[in-house]
Structure 1
């Protein structure tokens, strides 16, 4: 049997490369940062090559590190998959997709339905969770994230760079609308609280600037929700006017459950991206879903009212 590199050291290398930090790797592995650093040094000695460039607490893969990471991640993922299949008692292939909370129902689910038309017997596992996730340990085939920076060592495909525009239900706008969005009472605006980890999502103030105005509706006087998908749902139910993401609102706009109150939109700060292990990038089910997720929804016609 060929001589194998130290497997514990390989595991430490894979986690550190994916996390971009010895400290984060230590937390995931349940050991000290010093132990992770020592494992990496052992592996570097075994290969006779430096795998990381170290600058204080910051690390980055060297060319040698980049060269071995994909195969390392794939091999450890396969080992994890064997263990999971044995524990679960089955050998059936399934597609494991990990997605943020906001995207699961209004963006991912309709596209999975299209995918299943082509793969009717496919087993699918959809996991709704925030970044970061352990793609290898959890045997995730495809991770969808906001931003292209979460998993630098994995293959990344940019899917769509979304934008937001004002939407409301036709009935709500008929009952509560004004001649101009600038004249709408502050209580009628739905605001999305993106949370402390995000700073690049546009607000109503950003939208009014893009529309040529200066109004900044106060969130404390309106309706606030914690997910962009909830903002779409609230607008659909007639609870106010949402600054809705186009990819999530497209189905409602197409059938008239929502109307676009202006053609003016504001682009999100980051694109939505898909991440996967390089060894899985050519699987037909994965490439099919990536293609569906990257398709752009049609741009709905705006109502005549323009906030100018």
Structure 2
């Protein structure tokens, strides 16, 4: 067998690199900060490379540290997965899926229903949470995120690069519609705006949509309806509260059923794709691979464009 680096030191390195602090790593590992620091020095001595730059209580990875971190995290994740499989024995597997709030109901839930057609006895645990999450420590089988940059140590599959287009309910159009001129003439209070929060800057706004459509209008969010989730914007439009920029992956079912109508065929792409992340050791598991395939499938979208 090839010579292995000291495994306790490798574990200390992985936790410290992920946490960005020897103190936080010590808390997670249940040891002292001095012990973590000593383990890191042992590993640096073994490699003959400096892995961290120390600046008081702050640490950053060196180029050598960046080079070994992804493989280290994957290897420890694979070992953890083996341990769980052995300990669980014949226990029925549970699929643990972690998803952002906006995707849970309108996008993930319908596809889970399809997955259960093939795995009717499967136990499923859906966790709705924002990035970042600790996939290894929280025993998450599949993490779905907006963007492909959150988890560089995990296997990543791009699922869909979504787009938005204006949607409204038939009832709203009956009360306010004027064929194709509704968006140009509509009062600003009738626009539904999605507030993505301070962490996101790549989601298109109504001003972006009008610019792509060849117009100059920029509806003021302070004069319209504002919601904090893209899925809530679609629900508000379905209830007749106004016109929303609906994501096509989430609005597909309502568009196909006629509960929403697309007011234009013009759409604007989101800045980042939705991606699935998983430990490499779990990527070939039938239930996980099946769900990833369903999530990556192009939805059937009957837009009903006016």
Report the CA distance between 1:171 and its aligned residue: 1.0
The equivalent residue for 2:28 is 29
What CA distance in whole angstroms lies between the structure 2 residues aligned with 1:73 and 1:25? Answer: 19
> How far 1:53 sits from its partner (Å)?
6.8
Taking the TM superposition and a 5 Å limit, the aligned residue runs for 1:41-80 are 41-46=41-46, 48=47, 50=49, 52=51, 57-59=59-61, 61-79=65-83
- Is the CA contact (8 Å cut-off) linking 1:191 and 1:204 kept in structure 2? yes
Question: What SS class does the counterpart of residue 121 from structure 1 fall into?
Answer: coil
**1:225-236 alignment runs, 5 A limit:** 225-236=227-238
Alpha-carbon distance in structure 2 between the residues aligned to 1:105 and 1:18: 31
Q: Are residues 24 and 233 of structure 1, via their aligned partners in 2, closer, same or farther at CA, if it must alter by over 3 Å?
A: farther
Instruction: Indicate yes or no: 2:132 matched with 1:132.
Output: yes
**How far 1:51 sits from its partner (Å)?**
8.1
Give the 3 Å change call, closer, same or farther, for CA 37–172 of structure 1 in structure 2. farther
Query: In structure 2, do the counterparts of structure 1 residues 40 and 91 end up closer, same or farther at CA, with 3 Å as the change threshold?
Result: farther
**What is the CA distance between 1:243 and its match in structure 2?**
0.6
Gapped regions of structure 2 (runs ≥ 5): none
Q: How does 1:90-239 map to 2 (within 5 A)?
A: 91-178=91-178, 179-239=181-241
* Cα separation, 2, equivalents of 1:18 and 1:267: 32
Give TM-score scaled by structure 1 length: 0.86
Distance across 1 between alignment mates of 2:36 and 2:177: 60
Q: Deviations over 1:95-118 (max 9, x none)?
A: 110000000000000000000100
Classify 1:66/1:171 alpha carbon distance in 2 versus 1 (closer, same or farther; 3 Å). Answer: closer
Task: Flag the 1:230–1:67 CA change in 2: closer, same or farther, 3 A.
Answer: closer
Structure 1 stretch displaced more, 294-303 or 178-187:
294-303
The CA deviation at 1:4 is 8.1
Aligned to 2:285: 283
CA offset at residue 75 of structure 1? 1.2
Distance in 1 between the 2:164 and 2:27 partners?
Answer: 36
Say yes or no: does 1:264 pair with 2:266: yes
CA contact (8 A) 1:111 1:289 kept: yes
Cα displacement (A) at 1:55: 9.5
Give me the TM-score of the superposition, normalised by structure 2. Answer: 0.86
Q: How does 1:284-299 map to 2 (within 5 A)?
A: 284-299=286-301
- SS of 1:194's equivalent in the other structure is coil
The 8 Å contact of residues 207 and 265 in structure 1, kept in 2 or not, is answered as yes
| Cα-to-partner distance string for 1:225-284 (whole Å, 9 max, x where unaligned) | 110000011111111111111000000000100000000110000000000001111111
